[in-house]
Chains A and B, each alone.
Chain A
Amino acid sequence: MSSVSLPFEILPRTGNLNTTPVAPIADADRLGLTKKQVAADHPTWCPGCGDFSVLALYFKLIEKRKIWHEKITTVAGIGCSSRFPYFVQAHGAHYIHGRALPFASGVSLTRPDLHVFTFGGDGDAFSIGGNHVNHTARKNIKMTYVIMDNWVYGLTKKQTSPTSPIGFKSKTDLGGALDQPINPMKQLISAGATFVARASAANIPHLLQMMEAAMDHDGFSVIECLSECVEFFDGAFDAANPRKGGKFDLVPAEHDVTDEFAAYKMAADPFPGKFGIFYKVNRPTKNKNEADITAKAMEKVQGKKPWEILQATFNRMK
């Protein structure tokens, strides 16, 4: 009765349809990338913003670990921190507010060959996108998520954020914030994230250490990185900065990172609390679980072309 109504030719595979292919280079012949090669647009952040350190360390990580441009994918949602992908010379996506994690999950689940990094702020992670943090953690989708927490909405110029402390005076809480702030560590641990760390943009060597450990973790690895907004919440993290008279206490060496209750208890410490890896366990990733299902299903139809598999199904529908 009907047929394909548009006379489409069978298209070549997706992508690359109007570009000139070039010869591949063997990995051994390639040099590592320099900072200049990984940097793209000049960041639009205010001078003094903590996000600069995170970006610089991301470049450093790429250099140090010799990751090729095309092997990393940088994903972000909306917010000051989420401008991140434009500043990185690599494949990147700037997605909608709060939904960077499911987008990045789509990349991670279909492309095991890529390192997927997602960057965002406290609004993305704990307000509009709160649900996705829980479920990406629960599913344990392989990627690294850096939450640049500044305790305020900066891009929209000083409204209360889900991590703003009680009493913080913003344009939406003129008399001071009223609502109980979210405790990122508690939230992430209870959601089932398999790597939960806390860092600060003011402590660069420690942050790099955390980013490396997160990248090497097989699962959903999250870093809450205190990243000061000098414009709208100046001095928020002074108490965690020894140069400003505060203290930067590391997670004690004897802390068992697989002990969920100990990690949760540590998360309850009053600010500035501890810095380092709170919780780290190995649980099968969604990537592996799905790959296992696929491998098992494919075993049963081994050697058959896709149309032959579909034909077998249709034969049962006659």
Chain B
Amino acid sequence: MRLRSAKTGWANVRTTKVFMSEATLSAPPTEGAPKVSKVSEAIIRIAGNSQDGIQAIGGFLARLAGRSEQEVMTFMTIPSTISGGPSIFQVRIGSGDVLSAGDEADVLLAFYQHSYEGHLSSLKPGGIVLYDSDHVQPNPEFQKLYHHVAVPITSRTVEALGGTAKDKGKNVFSLGLIAKMFDLNVSKLEKLIMERFAGKDESIAKNALMAFHTGYGSSVGNLIETFQFVESQKKSGQQVVMNGNEALAYGLIAAGVRFGAGYPITPWTDIMELLRRELPKYGGAFIQCEDEIASISMAIGAGYAGRVAVTGSSGPGISLKTEALGWAVMAEMPLIVVDVQRGGPSTGMPTNVEQSDLNIACFGGHGDSPRVVIAPTNVEDCFYMAIEAVNIARKYSVPVIILTDQSIGSRIEAFEEPNLEKLCQDISPDLTPVADHKPYDLAAENGVTRHVAPGTRIASGKYPVVTGLEHDELGHPTGSPKLHTQMVAKRRNKLKALASEIPTPKIYGPPEGNILLVGWGSTEGPIREAVDRARAAGDSVSSLHIKHIFPLPNGLQNIFAGFNHVFVVEMNDESLYGYGQLGALLRARYCDPKIKGVTKTDGLTFKVREILEHAKSSIAAGIRKL
């Protein structure tokens, strides 16, 4: 189990210790009872099938961590089949910073033979595999490497709940086992179980509690060690626990968004369903449209009518929206487009993660159509960057694309409760009559357009048309070469003004050294962990995470100048010329030949060791060439 020193900023070093041995803070073992070890964090992987409710166990653990002021991060895979298929849920709980869902698990809970065989390799050497002995036949080879704990999970669940429930409660039974193993707070878990089943038939909650207690009380023969989390050092007050899709949707609500339109597509659908359910409480609405094009068009229509509206999608849905997005750029209409990225192109890998939409987000569509692209780095960031997106859209009258991805959207994290009273905004339309109005005023400060919504009386009697044709200052069509040049510049210059407002991102680690890892979006955790691990091993590595992709913040070249190698770490293809999508953008922007790519396309989140190995082998290859 990893034991970590107190938080000392970036130089915080993790020492990795083998899970089952020499835990430094062990309590003295009592006769016949398992040894109790104190740990600062644990990674638990639950493997089963998609209908086993393993997400529910993970959800309970994550929520419990949130209530115990611990940090937590989860990771899940789901098959893109309609029902069934192998599925995993990994949860990493820590008393200090948790940066990623973890490369290797400390504990594997395996429901089936395929879960056992498929996921043992993700367990660290000496780790514990807790398996359902009703379904799993352990492999003697593996028994030498991992500590095996057999529990007849299925039959004991059936025994506890009676025949009709079959093995339906085995997830909650297993939660009981884990609770025992990690000495988790039983009363808090009971409360979470009760809350989860509140409003349903009383017998459901009763059965769940019974399954939980049977699991908790189950004799686990060869479990020789149990664990206790050291008390969390963060006493930061209340935490909320949610996934990235939820945080993003609630962030939009806090920002004052009251209208949206969408079409279902995985993994964007969660956001759409949430907004459809929640917006009416705030006087708003979310409309399910006939297709992606109608959704973005309806959102733009609402934007024109005076609201900052949201649409969103994933994968091919984003391609479909690009013509309308071009209109919003041309007409200078505020709009939020959420892109929860998945594997592409085409239908691609609907339930896997990829960061391969950066190009379409920044450049998708015909013509010169500058728009804003931002990418949150974790669940908490999804909440705050949604607010930021709305404010950029309003301030610069421009579409803003929020690039998240399948992993950040579905992973659960705990974060400090936001001050909602302070953050929530009212952005309802203002219909106060005006004297005169030119929507595309070339003399406006920084070229920023201000629309007046329909319903606003304009005393001069001259009313604006918003349009996708190149236009004059009032929005009427023009073929004037001069005006086209001026208007193209206007749309570009306002984003330059925005760029000057974006703070230069802070470097993680020393500002000068050998290697700089540059990332964007959901990879911040594993990249920082890679920095920690490399520095602990004596390597000179720092990292930089870019949240504002387009326009980029100013001043990055000064940061790059401090390093011998700059590796842009991203989950997309190295493409024809050897760079991922952000890598290519940064090379084009800074003409810096030391910018190289660390990319991968397996549809899974980055493992810390993959980042380090790739960067090192790339440097080695470069030296060979010399």
Contacts and interface: CB of A to CB of B under 8 A. Distances in A.
Interface of A: 1-6, 8, 10-25, 37, 40-41, 68-71, 73, 75, 85-86, 89-96, 99, 101-107, 109-111, 113-114, 131-132, 134-135, 286, 290, 293-294, 296-298, 300-301, 305-307, 309-311, 313-314, 316-318
Nearest to B430: A13
A5 B416 CA distance: 16
B324 A11 contact: no
Contacts of B307: 14, 110
Given A3-B384, A102-B261, A307-B421, 20 more contacts: A1-B380, A5-B503, A13-B429, A21-B434, A40-B463, A69-B458, A69-B461, A92-B466, A106-B309, A109-B285, A109-B302, A110-B259, A110-B306, A113-B455, A290-B287, A300-B281, A306-B424, A306-B426, A310-B424, A313-B278
Contacts of B67: 318
Contact of A107 (B304, B385, B431): B304
Given A2-B378, A294-B285, A16 B388 contact: no
A15 B429 contact: yes
Contacts of B302: 106-107, 109-110
B601 interface: no
A256 B331 CA distance: 45
A96 B369 CA distance: 15
Contacts of A317: 63, 240-242, 246
Contact of B454 (A1, A103, A107, A314): A107
Give me the 3 closest cross-chain CB pairs, A-B, nearest first.
Answer: A106-B301, A297-B280, A91-B454
A54 to B, nearest CB: 18
Contacts of A132: 290, 294
B506 to A, nearest CB: 10
B241 A307 contact: no
A14 B465 contact: no
B501 A16 contact: no
Given A4-B384, A306-B282, A19 B395 contact: no
Contact of A310 (B238, B254, B477): B254
Contacts of B250: 310, 313-314
A94 B301 contact: no
B455 A11 contact: no
Q: Which among B304, B309, B435, B548 has the greatest number of chain A C-beta atoms within 10 A?
A: B304
B281 A301 contact: yes
B42 to A, nearest CB: 21
Contacts, number: 287
A14 B259 CA distance: 14
A99 B240 contact: no
Nearest to B419: A307
Given A11-B394, A95-B468, A106 B461 contact: no
A313 B46 CA distance: 28
Interface string B430-457: 1111111100010011000011111111
Contacts of B462: 89
Contacts of A71: 455
B502 A22 contact: no
A314 B432 contact: no
B204 interface: no
Contacts of A85: 465, 467
23 contacts: A4-B388, A5-B503, A8-B392, A14-B429, A15-B430, A16-B434, A19-B437, A19-B452, A85-B465, A85-B467, A89-B463, A93-B466, A94-B469, A95-B327, A99-B297, A107-B304, A111-B455, A290-B285, A294-B280, A306-B424, A310-B250, A313-B278, A318-B239
Given A4-B384, A5-B547, A297-B280, A95 B297 contact: yes
Contacts of B284: 294
Q: Which among A13, A101, A114 has the greatest number of chain B C-beta atoms within 10 A?
A: A13
Given A4-B387, A91-B464, A102-B297, A309 B281 contact: yes
Contacts of A109: 259, 285, 287, 298, 302
Interface in B256-279: 256, 259, 261, 278
A270 B89 CA distance: 64
Interface string B297-320: 111111111111100000000000
Contacts of B153: none
Contact of A294 (B242, B283, B305, B387): B283
A318 B468 contact: no
A16 B452 contact: yes
B428 A13 contact: yes
A18 B323 CA distance: 29
Contacts of A314: 240, 250, 417-418, 420
A84 to B, nearest CB: 10
Contacts of B278: 313
Contacts of B27: none
Contacts of A37: 461
A11 B425 CA distance: 9
Contacts of A21: 432-435
Q: Which among A1, A41, A68, A102 has the greatest number of chain B C-beta atoms within 10 A?
A: A102
A97 B427 CA distance: 30
A101 B289 CA distance: 12
B594 interface: no
B434 A22 contact: yes
A37 to B, nearest CB: 6
A96 B327 contact: yes
A22 B456 CA distance: 11
Contacts of A113: 455
B459 interface: yes
Contacts of A89: 461-463
B435 A22 contact: yes
B415 A19 contact: no
Nearest to B302: A106
Q: Which among B239, B281, B303 has the greatest number of chain A C-beta atoms within 10 A?
A: B281
A105 B301 contact: yes
Contacts of A90: 463
B416 to A, nearest CB: 8
Contacts of B489: none
Contacts of B388: 4-6, 8
Contacts of A101: 294
B454 A73 contact: yes
Contacts of A297: 280-281
A21 B239 CA distance: 44
A24 B433 contact: yes
Given A106-B261, A318-B66, A70 B457 contact: yes
Nearest to A292: B280
Contact of A93 (B259, B392, B461, B465): B465
Contacts of A94: 465-469
Contacts of A95: 297, 300, 327, 468
B50 interface: no
A86 B476 contact: yes
B597 interface: no
A132 B289 CA distance: 9
B383 to A, nearest CB: 9
Nearest to B436: A19
Contacts of B309: 106, 110
B423 A114 contact: no
B427 A14 contact: yes
Q: Which among A8, A90, A290, A311 has the greatest number of chain B C-beta atoms within 10 A?
A: A8
Q: Which among B259, B324, B465 has the greatest number of chain A C-beta atoms within 10 A?
A: B465
A111 B441 CA distance: 26
A296 B458 CA distance: 36
A293 B280 contact: yes
Given A70-B456, A106-B309, A132-B294, A6 B391 contact: yes
A261 to B, nearest CB: 26
B240 A135 contact: no
Contacts of B306: 14-15, 110-111
A105 B391 CA distance: 24
B419 to A, nearest CB: 9
B509 interface: no
Nearest to B256: A306
